[in-house]
Amino acid sequence: MQSGPRQGRYNKAVMAFMAVLLFFMVVADIIIAHHQRNFLFSRAENQARRDLQLMAANFLEPLLQGDYDRIKGFVLRWGKEHPEVVHLAVVGSDGRELFAFNRPKDGERTFLVEEKLLDQGVQLPFLQMVSSFGEVDALLRKLHWQLGLASFLLTALAGIVLWFTLRRIALAPLEKEIGLRLETERKLAASRHQLEERVRARTVDLEDANLLLQKEVAERHAAEEQFARLHREYELILNSAGEGIYGLDTEGCVTFVNSAGLQILGYDEAELIGRHLHDFRHHVRFDGEPYGREDCPVCSAYAGGRKNQGGQSYFGRKDGAVFPVEFVCTPLMEGERIMGTVVVFEDITARKQTEHELLGLTDTLERRVMERTARMDAANQELRETLGQLEQTQAQLVQSGKMAALGDLVAGVAHEINTPVGVGLTAASHLENETREIAALYGEGRMKRGDLDRYLALSQEAAKLILANLIRAAELIRSFKQVAVDQSGEGRRTFRVKEYLAEVCLSLRPVLKNTGHRLEISCPEDLELNSYPGVFSQIVTNFITNSLAHAYDGDEAGSLLFDISLQGGNVLFRYSDDGKGMSEDQLNHAFDPFFTTNREKGGSGLGLHIVYNLVTQKLMGTITCESKPGKGTSFALLFPAIISGVPSHG
């Protein structure tokens, strides 16, 4: 123990040292707390921005498909699962909130982050998030207490150590200080070694990430090649169609024309592509006067966004000739937005000539019957010849009906495939833009781990979207191809009835989708027939089109039911609708050729007559019809499941 005066000097020196040390410790604590506050605030804002970017990538597909319920559910779920979120909203381009999640602020400080959504340069609704700094403030308060307590304890400890050091100034304390310094240097060397190991590990991680990025780029090139092959297949489908097909954008300019369309119109492709439809004499009235842009039936499709079943009209060729056509104008829709128009047309000059000849032949027949009543024996031979010509003409009309059905099938292919191809193209374009940006960051050496994580998540989502839509397009092509082959051929094979019936109904989707009719199929899953699928397809198609043309008026919506079952060795095929039905007199003539109840809308009277011939002659069966006014119409077909005496084809 020291004496009184010396002990007092020691105490004063220790107190002065502790005061100075405490001052510097407080200053250091303030600097550390300030830097820690900036770091925590920056990290919270960056995390919120990354969350918005992830949500933007997930929202792109539902926005393009108009699936707002999915977006709304995701917004509410995200807000509930993240307590730091005060306000989360999807804001439209007009500044109006489409969907929003709100939580009381409780007086906490907040910050705002936003993320825009772009689709091929087009501004989509953007995301807006307001988050609180409540968690950060709690961490800062805890840090302040810890720093203050640590400073106080360190100052007290330093004072105690200094007091004992001043009391016992000797060699032992000096050696102890040297030992402490050596220990510190050893720890610094160990820390330096650990830092070098971390740098080497980080370098390996970056090399692995680079290899993964190269693999992603290779997979993207493969997807682009597959998309190019699919695009080529679509071009081959359009060019192999017998009807003329051309497309228009929203301004009325021609975007594509198939080979049949160029041949019918007499133009070269370079003369049409990029030009407005009304820059050449494409559509005329019955008197040869061209339509104006305001009253043109073709332009009304992309102007009004509705399908135009043009029926019979007249088109003009390059050489000035006018020829009769049947055409359909269908708008291309992406969600609620009109992307353009597809026009399918057929030159019906030969059909018109055949109809004219048929009318002339009928007049000649009547005149001959009146003139040669007295010479019945001689007239019988001539009558048989005339009936033969009528049967040949009827067969030609039936064949024309088949070709018209195939034309509708091709139009359905173009319309149905457009949606998955358009979505896949949009996703591929977005992925290309993101790849270009990440490649630029990598080339400049500015790429961060967050940029790579965001790009990988976006690439995976885009790849899934492209693959799903390509699979959907391939399934559509397979179904349409099988139905088209069966309708144009006479082959006999074994097929599952319910599965094949679903494919036929899929080919009729363009006809049914704009109506409110409900189509139901009741059939065992394992029912198989060894028969003619082409005949089966024609019967189903004629039943549905007959109901659409005759059973309902205006915008009425009804129910169309197929009920198929196996009874012993026979198939019982029932079809019914709940339309307006037929009178007893109409029912008696239902299967007669050229008998129709709707001739003013283009009915030929051959649909049910063709069904009758197919069932009785091709399927070796029977057909009956039941109908009452206002009670709908039903057909019952009974034919053998296996047609004997005819070779089968698998």
Per-domain residue ranges of the chain: 4-169, 241-345, 489-640
At 383 the pLDDT is 61
At 622 the pLDDT is 93
Q: In which residue are the tokens 């190269």 written?
A: 214
Assigned superfamily of 241-345:
PAS domain (3.30.450.20)
Assign domain 489-640 one CATH number from 2.60.40.3880, 3.30.565.10, 3.30.70.260, 3.40.50.150: 3.30.565.10
Q: With helix as H, strand as E and coil as C, how does 7-33 read?
A: HHHHHHHHHHHHHHHHHHHHHHHHHHH
Q: How far apart are CA 308 and CA 204, in angstroms?
A: 63
CB atoms within 10 A of CB 340: 21
> Is the model's pTM score more than 0.85?
no
Bridge partners of residue 322, in order along the sequence: 316
Q: What is the pLDDT of residues 333-358, one digit of tens each?
A: 777 788 888 888 888 888 888 888 88
At 576 the pLDDT is 94
Q: What is the pLDDT of residues 122-154, one digit of tens each?
A: 667 778 888 777 777 777 778 778 777 877 787
Q: How far is CA 281 from CA 48, 176, 276, 284, 556, in A?
A: 58, 105, 11, 7, 38
Mean pLDDT of the chain: 76
Same fold, 4-169 and 241-345: yes
At 649 the pLDDT is 42
Q: Average pLDDT for residues 226-255, to the nearest whole number?
A: 76
Candidate from 318-327, 375-384, 437-446, 570-579 with smallest mean pLDDT: 375-384
Question: Beta strands of 186-258 (E only): which ranges?
Answer: 244-248, 254-257
> Which of 114, 119, 54 minimizes the C-alpha distance to 335?
119
At 488 the pLDDT is 47
* 175 has a pLDDT exceeding 80: no
In contact, 17 and 158? CB cutoff 8 Å: yes
Q: In which residue are the tokens 């109908």 written?
A: 627
Q: How far apart are CA 418 and CA 425, in angstroms?
A: 10
Percent of the chain having pLDDT more than 70? 75
Candidate from 67-76, 164-173, 271-280, 296-305 with smallest mean pLDDT: 164-173
At 624 the pLDDT is 93
Angle CA 440–441–445, to nearest 5 = 115
Q: Average pLDDT for residues 281-286, to the nearest whole number?
A: 69
> Which of 604, 607, 614 minimizes the C-alpha distance to 637?
614
Candidate from 27-41, 234-248, 628-642 with smallest mean pLDDT: 234-248
- Give the 3-state secondary structure of residue 96: coil
One-character DSSP codes across 452-485: HHHHHHHHHHHHHHHHHHHHHHHHHHHHHHHHHH
Segment (H or E) for 537: helix 533-550
Q: What is the pLDDT of residues 573-604, one digit of tens each?
A: 999 999 989 888 888 888 877 677 765 554 55
> Which of 349, 353, 362, 299 minimizes the C-alpha distance to 329?
299
Going by pLDDT thresholds of 50, 70 and 90, the confidence category of residue 565 is very high
Going by pLDDT thresholds of 50, 70 and 90, the confidence category of residue 3 is very low
User: Does domain 4-169 bear CATH number 3.30.450?
Assistant: yes
CB atoms within 10 A of CB 526: 9
> Which of 536, 560, 572, 556 minimizes the C-alpha distance to 633?
560
